[in-house]
Amino acid sequence: MDLRAALEKEDPQVYSALCGEEKRQLEGMELVASENYVSPAVLAALGSIFTNKYSEGYPGKRYYGGQKYTDIIESLAIERVIKLFPGAKTANVQPHSGCPANEGVYHAVLEPGDTVLGMDLSHGGHLSHGHPVTKMAKLFRFVRYKMKDIETGEIDYDELREVALEEKPKIILAGFSAYSRELDYKKFREIADEVGALAMMDMAHIAGLIAGKQLQNPFEFGFDIVTSTTHKTLRGPRGGIILTNSEELGGKINKTIFPGLQGGPHMNNIAAKAVAFGEADTPEFQMYAQQVIKNAKAMENEFAKNNVRMIAGGTDNHLLLIDAVSSWDATGGEVETALDKVHMTLNKNAIADDPRSPFDPSGIRLGTPAMTTRGFTEKEFTQVAQWIIAVAKNHADDAKLAEIAEEVKTLTARFPVPGM
Ligand SMILES: *Cc1c(COP(=O)(O)O)cnc(C)c1O
């Protein structure tokens, strides 16, 4: 049966928005560091009849009948993700997304009032690492570490250790959504051991680069818990996962996710996760992950040549954070808006200890995962960096922006979107 034709016939309004979004995704250049394009196989699993089934519980221990095939799907997802991240012993593939995965871990291993030591949010940490606006920050205490040197991006491990000794956290949390350097997992583990804390990594942004063997795997340094989204560099459906290195922790986490926090798992989503984990366990995916980093390096080179100020001085992963105010005398918001006009999508972003408001911060964040999936290599990304510089410098010149917009559209349209 033709699913598209069915949608068009039954609901022209939704169908028309879908067509508009397809055109936007095809013509636009997606540079948001957390986005990607899934494969046709992942889309097929997501849009499948697995969405019809309730499967509260876990494989082999469900609350309703009819679980022969859902058990196969969830077991496959678990086996595959454990294989993808060597050192993981248990996996929960049910969290609806990255924030619920982190929330699940906090509830599983902390008591109200317990302390978590995580990365400062303006230095790259994530909302779900205890930002004051989150409900988690009302229940648990979050204390912070930062970069020692914004020019190199090195984390201040001395400060991290001092704060850990003083605050006695139950979890030391590594991981970020706006940080471009590799982490020293060994140091995290040593400090966690010294204070008796669990070492946890939130690899949401870089899971695909770890799975693709281009970045280090925290389990190889003895980390206890690793959480992730599945839709960023890992290139799966929107969703979350929690991996641990022990049956005991895994058991606590399973009870916390269901029945503690969630009801029925979204089995269509878990089917799509299984497909994506299978895809990530291939030589092709390793080449993809390698190209993601090569492409980020190509942009780094071009920005460096043009005296653009990059936070942490450059990148080891898929993303770059740029100080727009000192580079171009334009705010992050102004650059984001001007880039939107030329069909290049990225986000304004706070930079470390940003003096400006989060609604119009000093920086922009951009990444290579999505356009690498569409086939961009170093050549295209060098051009992308040149366009970004031109747009930022001419952000108020609409005639110039219109010119660049045509060039962007012409290039991007040559690179198909998978599944479209
Ligand atoms: C994106 C991200 C999340 C949250 O993921 P959602 O799926 O949006 O809930 C959590 N942690 C980090 C580090 C992230 O980058």
Quick: pLDDT tens for 61-96.
999 999 999 999 999 999 999 999 999 999 999 999
Q: What is the pLDDT of residue 234?
A: 98
Cα-to-centroid distance, 179 and ligand 1 (Å): 13
Q: What is the pLDDT of residue 137?
A: 95
200 Rama sector, left if φ>0, alpha if ψ -120 to 50, beta otherwise: beta
Of 86, 13, 35, 37, the closest CA to residue 420 belongs to 37
User: Which positions ≥6 away from 260 have C-beta within 8 Å?
Assistant: 104, 107, 108
Atom of ligand 1 minimally distant from the CA of 125? 13
DSSP strand E in 176-266: where?
Answer: 198-202, 225-229, 240-244
List b or e across 53-69, with b for residues whose CB sees 16 or more CB atoms inside 10 angstroms.
Answer: bebbbbbeebeeeebee
User: Could you tell me where the DSSP H helices lie in 307-420?
Assistant: 324-328, 332-341, 369-373, 378-393, 398-413
Q: What is the pLDDT of residue 261?
A: 97
Q: What is the mean pLDDT of the chain?
A: 97
Confidence at 41, pLDDT banded by 50, 70, 90:
very high
Cα-to-centroid distance, 99 and ligand 1 (Å): 6
Distance CA 258, CA 112 (A): 19
Cα-to-centroid distance, 77 and ligand 1 (Å): 20
Q: Is the pLDDT of residue 1 over 80?
A: no
Per the CB < 8 A criterion, the answer to whether 109 and 197 are in contact is no
For a pLDDT cut of 90, what percent of the chain falls above it?
Answer: 97
Atom of ligand 1 minimally distant from the CA of 176? 13
Q: Which residues have a catalytic role annotated?
A: 54, 56, 202, 229, 232, 238
Of 129, 187, 112, the closest CA to residue 154 belongs to 187
Cα-to-centroid distance, 35 and ligand 1 (Å): 11
Q: Is the pLDDT of residue 376 over 90?
A: yes
Per the CB < 8 A criterion, the answer to whether 177 and 34 are in contact is yes
Q: In a mutational test of the pocket of ligand 1, which residue from 129, 206, 226, 229 has the highest number of ligand atoms less than 8 Å from its CB?
A: 229
Q: In a mutational test of the pocket of ligand 1, which residue from 126, 232, 317 has the highest number of ligand atoms less than 8 Å from its CB?
A: 126
Q: Cis check for the bond before 259: say yes or no (omega within 30 of 0).
A: yes
As for ligand 1, residues whose beta carbon falls within 6 Å of it are 34, 97-99, 102, 126, 128, 175-177, 202, 204-205, 229
